[in-house]
Structure 1
Amino acid sequence: MSSAKTPIFLTGATGYIGGAVLQRLLQHPNASTFDITVLVRNAEKAKILESKFGVKVVVGTHQELDKLESLAEKAHVVFHCADADDVPAVKAILSGLRKRHAAFGDLPILIHTSGTAVLSDDARGMYATETIYSDLNVNQIKSISPTAFHRDVDLTIMEADEQGYVRAHIVVPSTIYAIARGPLFEAGVSNPHSVQIPLLIKGSLDRKRAGMVGQGKALWPDVHIDDVAELYMLLFDSAMNDPENTGHGWEGFYFGENGEHSWYQISRAIGEALVELGITDDPEPEPFSREELIRYYGSEKFGNYSGSNSRCRADRGRSIGWKPRYTTEDMLKSIKPEVIAFKKKLESKV
């Protein structure tokens, strides 16, 4: 019966991570027991989600805080896969979950999406740090600066967990890569591309030479989009079936990584793809100028983010059975298809 189904609310369904997570929920062995609702802005995509995928859809934005609060209040599980820096939206979701806890007495589950930018420094591509974070090291997680990327939202969620009306889990993916595949992406509902590598690709295509920040020496972890979606599902299953043994709150940070790369390696792979496509005759990346960082990233500060260090190990996810399949070598191999895809997009606009 419908009343026995688990009510799930998901944000970011038309995005890269949210689309991958929703797709996995729809393919879950227990999918028939889920009552999934999503919030999307696009009315046409809403129709496709409802008619083709059987998902309940509310058309709206994350600025409609009353709507967010109401949808969260109706859900036992919330997957927040949208903007990791939207404090008002998270507060609205938490308010809804607080109301649900007060009204029904159940302990709702929040699975929020952050990112390993929270660990990043200001290396500007000039050096590699030796600092490596483990998500099993709670004191290390607590030591992260409150001014770090995404940290204001993460701390707001930690406070809610400590108050006891929600079990909060934060998935912290690193450099997510690969063109996402599957029904939601093929239907044009969800965005098949990530952010970090595509930004480097777009800038490199525009300048017709691979670009990087500084000398590209800084290090980041990487993780395939399919492995990220698998982490969400394992965490969801664990939180539903074995909540007492599933870390939440300060013990609920789950890094997503399966390997590590330098920014130079990514830019060099872009350069090699540009050579193969006849766009340049030199695969060696050149540093972006300050003006280029502003042009391609919107600001110098955000551009320098692509020259930062962010090193971590996904020990907690592996402790609940996560076994990522794809490696840094796979990440580097995924770059040429993305270069081809964005080259075609540019050509289609001409």
Structure 2
Amino acid sequence: MSSRKTPIFLLGATGYIGGQVLTRLLAHPSASTFDITAIVRSPEKAQLLESKFGVKTVVGHHGELDKLEQLASQAHIVFSCADADDLPAIKAILGGLRKRHATLGDLPILIHTSGTGVLTDDARGMYATDTIYSDMNIAQIESLPPTALHRDVDLEVVGADQQGYVKTHIILPSTIYALAKGPLVEAGISNPHSIQIPRLITAAISRRQAGVVGAGKPIWPDVHIDDVADLYIVLFDAITARPDAVGHGREGFYFGENGEHTWYDISKAIGRALVELGVSESGEPTTFSREELIKYFGSETSGNYSGTNSRCRADRGRSIGWKPKYTTADMLASIEPEVEIFLKKAQSA
């Protein structure tokens, strides 16, 4: 057995998902055998990661493609937990892994983060779909159009696996919820908040009433931040223990879900919280106007994201031992505490 440590490169250490994945790697039973490097923008956070947590850091951003390529070439395993739509960045990472394979003969591993946004439609809040995707159904996933959200990057990742110089795995979280916790959050290094629900919360606080796209009828899956972070580690452990038995490339899509909700369910929970906190008189969500979609979400298209369908089953992750604990009821219960946090921020701004 070699005494050399496994070189790991992680992108997104200061983020919501990446921070939790890094937390688990640092607490892993085999952590002493890992040589982890993270790229971060902030020199202050880099210093904290090195001094408090023993993580090697490189100060930089994902637009520095040469730097990404070099760092990837030095890693046997890459966790890409940052922007799911950054095609130049993923090309640079894959370029580094290709160089590693050509130089060392090593077959590196990429665990990339996408999202179930790739499954979305144009419902604009008006209907629920009966179409449910399984991550074990390869033909169904390959029927997705190349223009779908995240799909261009996903196809680049799968194509690299087909070329044989890297084994790729793609984790696709759904509506991730709950406040992230742990030492990296406590140290002010990683972000404790998700995106989808907090955006609806901040919009509701600003308009003083919960809002919804259309009638809020579309359905999405949901997954707790702890459960989705555990999925990365379950996959990592399975790859390490039995690499030939773990799906990769075309068979390497891993949805993250443990229940479903309608967008109305979320907005209604936000509305109830606002009534209890004295912000709104009515807990019933009202439909966002076109102007509000632009105001609160940046564009009408971005705003309509919270009115799409995205239904799936995480069959592949469960097949390798992933056992998510939290349910949609937990998701709905997590909303009021976040409303309180964002309301305090708005009041102090």
TM-score past 0.5 threshold: yes
Q: Which amino acid aligns with 2:148?
A: A
Deviation at 1:347, TM superposition (A): 1.9
CA distance in 2, matches of 1:345, 1:7: 40
Equivalent position of 2:286 in the other structure: 286
1:169 matches 2:151: no
CA distance in 2, matches of 1:238, 1:141: 22
Alpha-carbon displacement from aligned partner over 1:13-51 (angstroms, at most 9, x marks no partner): 000000010001001010000000000001111111111
Deviation at 1:348, TM superposition (A): 2.2
Q: State percent identity of aligned pairs.
A: 72
Q: Which amino acid aligns with 2:325?
A: R
Q: Which amino acid aligns with 2:200?
A: L
Equivalent position of 1:338 in the other structure: 338
SS for the counterpart of 2:236 is helix
Equivalent position of 2:230 in the other structure: 230
CA distance in 1, matches of 2:347, 2:204: 15
1:135 matches 2:135: yes
Q: Which amino acid aligns with 1:122?
A: D
Equivalent position of 2:200 in the other structure: 200
Q: Which amino acid aligns with 1:258?
A: N
Structure 1 vs Structure 2 CA RMSD: 1.0
SS for the counterpart of 2:111 is strand
CA distance in 1, matches of 2:50, 2:329: 38
CA distance in 2, matches of 1:92, 1:169: 17
Deviation at 1:240, TM superposition (A): 1.5
Aligned 1:240-255 pairs, distance under 5 A: 240-255=240-255
Equivalent position of 1:124 in the other structure: 124
Aligned residues: 349
Deviation at 1:345, TM superposition (A): 1.3
Deviation at 1:248, TM superposition (A): 0.1
Equivalent position of 1:58 in the other structure: 58
CA distance in 1, matches of 2:71, 2:176: 28
1:104 matches 2:104: yes
TM-score (structure 1 length as normaliser): 0.99
SS for the counterpart of 1:51 is helix
Deviation at 1:341, TM superposition (A): 0.8
SS for the counterpart of 1:39 is strand
Alpha-carbon displacement from aligned partner over 1:53-79 (angstroms, at most 9, x marks no partner): 110000001010000000000000000
Query: Structure 1, unaligned stretches of length 5 or more?
Result: none
CA distance in 2, matches of 1:132, 1:292: 30
Q: Which amino acid aligns with 2:321?
A: G
Equivalent position of 2:265 in the other structure: 265
SS for the counterpart of 1:4 is coil
Alpha-carbon displacement from aligned partner over 1:133-180 (angstroms, at most 9, x marks no partner): 000000001001100000000000111000000000000000000000
Alpha-carbon displacement from aligned partner over 1:71-119 (angstroms, at most 9, x marks no partner): 0000000000000000000000000000000111111000000000000
Aligned 1:22-171 pairs, distance under 5 A: 22-171=22-171
Query: Structure 2, unaligned stretches of length 5 or more?
Result: none
TM-score (structure 2 length as normaliser): 0.99
Misfit runs of 4+, over 6 Å = none
1:274 matches 2:257: no
Equivalent position of 2:312 in the other structure: 312
1:324 matches 2:349: no
CA distance in 1, matches of 2:168, 2:177: 26
Relative to structure 1, the CA distance from residue 205 to residue 158 in structure 2 (aligned partners, 3 Å threshold; closer, same or farther) is same
SS for the counterpart of 1:7 is strand
CA distance in 2, matches of 1:2, 1:65: 32
CA distance in 2, matches of 1:56, 1:241: 25
Equivalent position of 2:182 in the other structure: 182
CA distance in 1, matches of 2:76, 2:243: 13
Q: Which amino acid aligns with 2:271?
A: G
